[in-house]
Every structure is written in structure tokens, then in C-alpha cells.
Chain A
Amino acid sequence: MSGPAYSPDEIMTVTAARQLVNGAVCFVGIGLPSAACNLARMTHAPDLVLIYESGTVGTRPKVLPLSIGDGELAETATCVVPLAEIFAHYLQRGRVDVGFLGAAQIDRYGNLNSTVIGDYAHPTVRLPGGGGAPEIATYAREVLVIMKQTPRSFVPRLDFRTSCGYLEGSGARAASGSPGAGPRAVITDFGVLRPRPGTEELELAALYPGISVDAARAATGWPLRIAAHVEMLPAPGPAELAVLRGLEAATREAHARPIRISLRN
């Protein structure tokens, strides 16, 4: 018997793209979030407004950037603003609908760690750090988290809290005055977790084809609650896969292009 005709990354990307409503303003991170946002823009949501933290507003890249500040993003943007402005005038001012985040660790209330594994002063693994994530987590009207589900990444207790989800749950985030609503969905390679109304604890809300509840439970480092109704998500459609694979092929080709510099004087 053969496996599904798509990879875990592909179904995560397609599922994330489907969460995006046409016209929404998205603050995009590099990697899967960037692929998902551009896939959505090239399929069902042509008027999606993509903002990258490098200050590119309304960008429509034809190939996916490797970094957050590739020239492609600037060339295809409505405008390019200084970094202080993108955070103050756009994000902090409340002009972003959806923020995309990943992390090394997530807890049951959607709080995220992208700083260290182990003790801060003597870390086992020094991770890149907060960057734009703490403010995105606070100010975006809602947050989508994309990360692979393993017991090492879905942990009972974070080694470090870099970005706020629902804090301790049960309304703690709202009580803190955070402007944004917090993580609406956590898209994994098993399915989708959503906050349970009331407690705000993440629970398994949807599964991909062929994935069992027990497999999702086994990939979670805390006793994962299961929603009363678990939705069965559709596989990626042929049109979505064709666009995504085309985008990725164009990206690979662009990133492999040799650079030539002319040394004028």
C-alpha cells in the first residue's frame, strides 16, 4: 500500500492557507507560514495583504524568500517602510489581522518558546530568540501557529516563555489586557488543535486523512484533550498542490542561481 500523495509539510501548508480569509492583513514569518500565505494569495485569497517584518507591505513575491528580507519582497511590495514603523505603526497600532508563528516548544495554553532549551544562563540549545514573535503574539487580532507535533515540542512546561498564548488559560490573557485574541489554531502534521472555550486549553479539533486520535495523543507531551467533535480534514486538492509545488520549484531554481558581482571602481 502506498502512502498519501502529499508530504506532511504540504498538508500543513495547505491547511494553514485554508484558514486565511481573502482581504485579511497577515504578518508573515519565513518558512511554512510564508508558503501558506502565498499559496492562499495565489488561490482563494488574491487580496490577502502580506506584511513581512523587514518592512515590506502588500508584497506579492513570485518565488518564496529564503530570508525575511530578500529583494523579491521589496520589489513586489506596495511600499517598504523602516522596521520601527512596521512594528509600531502597523502591528502595535492594531492593523494586523493574522499573525503566523512557529516555535521550538508550545504548551497546552499555546504559549511559545523560541529562546532556549534548558536553563537560560547555561542552555542546552541556544535558539534564535524572540525577534518579532513576542509582539506578533500580543498584537495580531488572531494568531495561527504552525509546528510539527512531537512530545519534545508539545511540552507540559516550557523551558522559557518567549511569546504569550493564553498564559494560564481561563481568561488570563484577556485579563492581562492583551489586544489580540491569541492563538486561534495550531496547525501540526497530525491535524489542528484549537483552544477549548472556557479553559482555553488546546484540544484536538481536526485530523488529517489516515491519522488517528491515538497517534496525535502519542505525539503530545501532555494528556491531550479531544474535542467533542473531531473534524476530518480533506486532503490537499490537486489545484492547491500544483500551485504549491510550482511555487516551490520556482523558489529552488531562484535560490540556486549563482551571484555575479562586477568590481567597478
Chain B
Amino acid sequence: MQLLPLTEAIATHVHDGDSVALEGFTHLIPFAAGHEIVRLGRRDLHLIRMTPDLIYDQLIGMGCAARLTFSWGGNPGVGSLHRLRDAVERQWPRPLALSEFTHAELALAYQAGASGMSCGLMPRYGDTDLGRLPGTSLRTVRCPFTERLLTAVPAINPDVTILHAQQIDAEGNVLIRGIVGAAKEAALAARRVLVTVEERVERLRADMNALVLPSWLISAASVVPGGAYPSYAHGYYARDNRFYLAWDEIARDRRAFTAWMERYVLGAPNHAALLRALGVAA
């Protein structure tokens, strides 16, 4: 594990054309890292996330992505991700290829990737159009023991997985507390792992079964207070639900979106400056 400034960590580990998973289910979404990808002008990324959320709405709207693998693409409790919709419905600012799964399938795909399996298996029932999508990678197989029909979901192994976490200790071990989503599986499936953290401490006060990523699994880490804003870091700050509501208006219009990104992301040298400009930090 290397402790690096965020710009250097992203510049070193995220390249044009990479498959990139910024995980964190509603909680601990690595916004600061995503914004740095925008600032560095990365292109043709294959973005992977269960819930694209605002961070991928931003990356897609800024033209960073060529493909999206996802399972639920809305603004939670609010409505649409307008930039994602504009890319799919009107190819703006560029066409976006979709690989679409259910939550259970995508979680299984990460788990398979983390386990060195080529696929994960789950029972197959019912008959939906999701299994008939053009180019679907799902396959139906038969259980060798029970003859039961199973869905095989191909493993996902991102080039790089990026997480936000609460703490890193002196040895570089990382602690995640609260809603964990598929963070651990996405990290263990990846070729490289980047982590941003709220703070550096001498020693993690972690319960025995806590989610700790040992330092030797992590390629690079950066200390970025507020790095999950406007999502949240349990124990540090709450989700800014007002911002999620406000994003609906900002992202609805191409010009308003571009102006927002230019002012707050491209116009800020780093995440602390963005938080100050938004009036969230002093």
C-alpha cells in the first residue's frame, strides 16, 4: 500500500479504457475519487457500479464513459439520473453501451470475481425480458446434482476498484463501518484497489468481525476528508439528502449540468475546495 495524494493515486492507477468500479451502496460512495477522474479527463472508461448514483451521472455527462455495467440507475427516492438517461436516450455527450443486471446478479458477479471463479450460479425461475437482452452474458445451465435450472452470471474483475472508507491505520489497513454493500467483493475482485479515507489513525478500533481490508490488498490510499460527500460516511457526516433532491434540477438540463461541473468540479483544485465552494465545509 502506498499513501498518495489523490491526484497521483488516480493518475497512476486509472487509465483511459479501464474497467473501473467505484463501489459503496448509497453509503461511502467515492465522490472525491470520481471527481478526480473527471479533472484528469479520463476517457472510454467501462464504469461498473450496482447503483450508478450521482457520481456516474456526472462521469457519464462529462463524457468519461463508453460502457456502463449496473443494476439500478436512478436517483434514490428522487427519480431519474438525467445524464444517464440523456446518454442512453439521445447519445449525449456520446453513446453509452449498457450491461444490465439485477442487484443479486451483480453482487454474485463480484463474488465470483473475488473468488477466482469464472461465474456465479443462482436459481433460475420465471421468465423476464432481462434474460433476453441483446448481447446478454447470462446463461442457463443445469445443476449436475438436482437437474434444477440455474442462471450462470459471468464473473466481474474490474481493472480497478475504488472505495471510500472511514479509517486507515499506520500500517495501511482500512476499516469500513456501516452499510457495506458489495464493497468487499468488488475490491477483492479487482486487479488494483484504490481507497480514499476520512482519516488516518494510529490503530483501528475494529471489532473482531469488522470489515477490514489488509494493507497488502490495497494498491494506493489517499486521505480525503468528506470524500464520500454528498453520500455519507457513517460516524463522520450524514447523507446530504438536500443535495440529492437539488441534483434533479441541476442534471435535468445539459447547460445547467455543464455549468455546475465546470464551477464545482473542474473549477476546484481538490475536494476540500469543492466542499468549501458548496458551503459544506468551512
Contacts and interface: CB of A to CB of B under 8 A. Distances in A.
Most chain A C-beta atoms within 10 Å of own C-beta, residue among B76, B89, B110, B128 = B128
Contact of A161 (B80, B129, B236, B242): B129
Interface stretch (A3-11, A37-45, A216-224, A254-262): A254-262
Given A71-B27, A134-B102, A164-B126, A261 B225 contact: yes
B185 A263 contact: no
B77 A137 contact: no
A13 interface: no
Interface stretch (A144-152, A174-182, A195-203, A228-236): A174-182
Contacts of B104: 84, 87-88, 91-92, 132, 134-135
Contact of B77 (A66, A115, A173, A177): A66
B280 A261 contact: yes
Minimum-distance CB pairs A-B, first 7: A69-B26, A128-B74, A131-B72, A67-B76, A164-B126, A87-B104, A84-B107
Chain B interface size, as a band, is 35 or more
Contact of B25 (A54, A88, A257, A259): A54
Given A69-B25, A176-B125, A257-B238, 12 more contacts: A54-B26, A69-B179, A69-B181, A70-B241, A88-B104, A120-B129, A126-B85, A137-B126, A164-B126, A254-B241, A259-B242, A260-B281
17 contacts: A56-B179, A67-B239, A71-B27, A84-B182, A123-B88, A124-B89, A128-B74, A131-B72, A132-B102, A138-B126, A162-B130, A259-B240, A260-B282, A261-B226, A261-B237, A263-B225, A263-B281
Contacts, number: 209
B71 interface: yes
B134 A66 contact: no
A124 B226 CA distance: 37
Nearest to B224: A263
Interface string B85-120: 100110000000000111110011011000000000
A115 B239 contact: no
A167 interface: yes
A160 B232 CA distance: 34
A79 B226 CA distance: 26
B108 A84 contact: yes
A68 B185 CA distance: 20
A121 interface: yes
B268 interface: no
A237 B236 CA distance: 40
Contact of A54 (B102, B130, B179): B179
Interface string A72-106: 01100000101110011001100000000000000
A156 interface: no
A61 interface: no
Nearest to A256: B242
Nearest to B81: A128
B181 A128 contact: no
B71 A255 contact: no
Interface string B205-246: 000000000000000000101100110101011111111110
Interface string B153-189: 0000000000000000000000000111110110000
Most chain A C-beta atoms within 10 Å of own C-beta, residue among B71, B129, B244 = B129
B53 to A, nearest CB: 9
Given A31-B77, A55-B179, A179-B125, A71 B232 contact: yes
Contacts of A65: 77
Contacts of B240: 259
Nearest to B77: A66
Contact of B128 (A73, A161, A254): A161
B123 to A, nearest CB: 7
A134 B185 contact: no
